[in-house]
A and B are shown apart, each in its own frame.
Chain A
Amino acid sequence: MSSTLLEQKQTPKPRIITTELRLTDKVFRGVVTGGGLISLTLLGLIGFFLVYNGFEAMRSAGMAFLTGFEWVDAVPENNQPAAYGIGAMLYGTVVTGILAMIIGVPIAVGTALFLSYYAPAWLKKPMVVVVDVMAAIPSIVYGLWGYFVLMPHAEYWAKLIHKYFGFIPFFDMPAPVFTRSPFIASLVLAIMITPIITAIAREVFAQTPLERIQAAYALGATKWSMIKAVVFPYGRGGVVGGAMLGLGRALGETVAVYTVLNLVYDIRIEVLLSAGGNVASMIVNKFGEADFVELQALMAAGFVLFLVTLIVNFIANYIINKTARE
């Protein structure tokens, strides 16, 4: 009895206090760090393997790979060497991307303003869901819809534009073929990128300080004056970043563009004409019957696309992060 009491009175040895992590924590941090770095490694691997497989094509073509218009396989019988250049496709990709931005950004910003400041409460929630659903629709759906539903209408619009604005070189028509033009591809892309830009613009607009909005109203500003004086200065960076994020998506879109764009290896400024280019669509188009040499060229084309979209996304995220922090 007394011995147990004695034992209880003995003070336990003080625990050694140390900042060193326990073994379980070391393992935990190791595993999580490893998992976190997989994403980073993956991005590096994508770049590495595309360069590794496409290097030969880029080396043999040199700068002509970026500027050349031709994509022809070697014909040994005629002593004709292979020539792979993605200049026209790259140009077409940029043209459809920028056109999509010109159409999509004003609509997206207008919608974001509508959702933030104009919509009645009962309409706001369903509209937000609508925008989210639009962002979740797979591109093949837009491709099918664009080809069968939008194209007949868009063809008619293109004819009208040509009829009344044909004197502008962009809307000129050397041949009366209006289907599968960069214009129609841009329309489909604009519909696809609008929800992305809307979502980001809305997020940025929501961060506008309320007291400034109320101050503007208290000074007698109309809604538009308030938006011009308070919301736009605050949200400009976010809108620009969101637009660039949309551009990145538009540049890399494959399936939806493939169905509504006629690939022609030529640089043309007439956007209503049925002749355009798109790197991603070209990869799908040529992939099926590509031999080994052509496959290398396609890998190189994929690397260029990867690099361009990555840079656009870097800039976009940098701008958005900077705006969000301020």
Chain B
Amino acid sequence: MSQTLLVAKPNRPWKLTPKQVLPDLLGAVFTVASTLLIVALSPLKGKLGFAITLIFMAILTATAVSWIRRDRKAAMNSTTTVLVYIAAAFVILPLISVLYEIVRLGSVGFSLGIFTDDMAETSSESPLTEGGLLHAVIGTAYIVTFATLLATPIGILTALYIVEVKGRFAGLVRFFVQAMSGVPSIVAGLFIFAVWMIQLGNAYSGIAGAFALTVLMIPTVARTSEEVLKLIPQDLREAGLALGATQWRTVAMVVVPAARSGLITAVILGVARVVGETAPLLLTVGGADAINLNPTQGNMSAFPYYVWKNLLIGNENSISRAWLGVFVLMILVLIIFTLARYLSTSRGVKK
């Protein structure tokens, strides 16, 4: 009766044995050692010389090792593997440098005091302990809020038109909205300047900047909302209609609630897109050093404008202020970005 079942112990043929890893390890050691030797003996000097030699030697070693052990195809494979890793490193390096320099140069003048004062009575050359960027905080808050209030309904309605109503122009609208997201930001600024200032005769104001940012925000909101709405299962819509609901009821009470967090993510991504936009604001808000609480009248500042202005002044303290502005702006962007990611991954629409 009793049968002994022989169960083969699973081995892992894909797992590399130490013997197989050894050539790679030796290759890596050889690469670094030969690079150090070449840099020490030849006229190549400094970090750049080291980096170039290292890349060159890495490709050479990897290719040679594969060729000797196997064949030309394996050598080709090793070469491209090294190149792909180098490409990935080239993408990370600038980001690390950008973040590092922002923290290093931007956190110098950082204190809570900068959020309580503006630059109205502070000259650009005075030390960073004087003045602040409250005017930029208020300006950005006004401009981005108004832009969001305008762009959110238009963007979501556009997405609903493409996904739910599927009207005659749905394909056309979709294609043009895609193209619209590539409109240069300076063109949006020029457009608002042409309409709001030249044709309608208004002066610089926060609201003009908000209009310009709306133009840039609509495509981002519309495209992300469209993706989100497309993820809502068709069954839900059919269930709503089968219960006798009109399309309006189905969309308002089934589709939109199901897509809610995705739609919020779309709006947040739109905010992230425009909060750092500089070029359109240069043509529309006028810039100011004092707090302006009226968004419909008078020049206004914003974070990007504050950075731009201090960069152009160009003395030591103003450049520190520009870095400070960038530091605060980056913190803001990263907070918005994290929020969007959190919403879209943890509580968003599940694929």
Residues of A within 8 A of B (CB): 21-22, 24-25, 27-29, 31-40, 42-43, 45-46, 49-50, 52-53, 106-111, 113-115, 118-119, 127, 129-134, 136-145, 147-150, 156-157, 160, 191, 194-195, 198, 222-225, 227, 245, 248-249, 251-255, 259, 280, 283-284, 287, 295, 298-299, 302, 305-306, 309-310, 312-314, 316-317, 321
Contact = CB atoms under 8 A, between A and B. Distances in A.
A40 to B, nearest CB: 5
A164 B182 CA distance: 38
Given A195-B91, A305-B187, 11 more contacts: A32-B164, A35-B156, A39-B154, A46-B191, A138-B333, A141-B326, A249-B182, A255-B304, A305-B186, A310-B183, A313-B179
B195 A310 contact: no
24 contacts: A21-B246, A21-B247, A28-B247, A29-B167, A29-B247, A33-B167, A37-B169, A43-B179, A45-B191, A46-B191, A53-B194, A113-B87, A130-B91, A133-B334, A133-B337, A140-B307, A144-B322, A144-B326, A148-B101, A148-B105, A222-B77, A223-B77, A283-B186, A305-B186
B186 A254 contact: yes
B84 interface: yes
A49 B81 contact: no
Given A31-B157, A111-B91, A114-B87, A39 B176 contact: yes
Nearest to A144: B326
Given A35-B154, A134-B94, A40 B86 contact: no
Contact of A140 (B81, B85, B276): B276
A133 B335 CA distance: 11
Given A138-B278, A255-B308, A39 B334 contact: no
A222 B157 contact: no
B184 interface: yes
A42 B215 contact: yes
A317 B154 CA distance: 22
Contacts of A150: 97
B190 interface: yes
B180 A224 contact: no
B145 interface: no
B264 to A, nearest CB: 17
B153 to A, nearest CB: 7
Contacts of A317: 175, 178-179
A136 B337 contact: yes
Nearest to A244: B182
Contacts of A21: 246-247
User: Could you say which interface size class chain B belongs to?
Assistant: 35 or more
Nearest to A110: B87
A-B pairs, 6 with minimum CB distance: A138-B276, A35-B157, A252-B184, A110-B87, A36-B161, A313-B182
B5 interface: no
Interface in B131-171: 153-158, 160-162, 164-165, 167, 169-170
A134 to B, nearest CB: 5
A283 B279 CA distance: 10
Contact of A141 (B84, B90, B330): B330
A28 B157 CA distance: 10
Nearest to A255: B278
A251 B84 contact: no
Given A40-B173, A224-B80, A252-B187, A134 B165 contact: no
A38 B158 contact: yes
A32 B84 contact: no
Given A43-B180, A136-B337, A141 B102 contact: yes
B154 A38 contact: yes
B313 interface: no
A323 B277 CA distance: 31
Given A39-B173, A110-B88, A312-B182, A50 B187 contact: yes
B31 interface: no
A300 B273 CA distance: 26
Given A35-B160, A39-B180, A110-B87, A145 B101 contact: yes
Contacts of B181: 313
Contacts of A22: 246, 248
A266 B236 CA distance: 61
Contacts of A191: 94
B188 interface: yes
A157 B50 CA distance: 14
B271 to A, nearest CB: 11
Contact of B95 (A134, A245, A295): A134
A89 B247 CA distance: 52
A27 B252 CA distance: 13
Contacts of B194: 49-50, 52-53, 299
Contacts of B334: 133
Interface string B259-282: 000000000000011011111001
Contact of A32 (B165, B177, B186): B165
Contact of A114 (B85, B98, B175, B222): B85
A22 B244 CA distance: 12
Interface string B309-339: 0010000000100110010011001100100
B154 A137 contact: no
